[in-house]
Amino acid sequence: MTRRLRVGVIGAGSWSAAVHLPALVAREDVEVVVVCRRNGDIAARVADRFGVPRAVTDYREALALELDAVVVASPPNVHEEQV
């Protein structure tokens, strides 16, 4: 079996919950490892909703997980720093 792509979602807001996360978790070749959102309680709820094992509030903590890919869905004014 081929290894699944380890993906994180930075900016787990309404757009990610409506579009990105449903598409990612539906794929057999993707493992969503972490979601990141500034509000930890909401991040935990989003993670729980999609079966993601980890929720964090700091994007650097997400990036430290040796991900293969990241969806950056945070507000545009912080994209450059996060990328």
DSSP 68-83: SEEEE-S-GGGHHHH-
Q: Residue 9: pLDDT above 80?
A: yes
Which band of pLDDT confidence, cut at 50, 70 and 90, is reported for residue 1? low
Predicted confidence (pLDDT) at residue 78 exceeds the cutoff of 90 = no
CA triple 59-41-78, angle to 5 deg: 30
Tell me what pLDDT residue 64 has: 97
On whether the CB atoms of residues 68 and 77 are closer than 8 A, the answer is no
Closest CA to 36 of 76, 74, 77: 74
Would you state the structure tokens that stand for residue 12, as one six-digit string? Answer: 């787990």
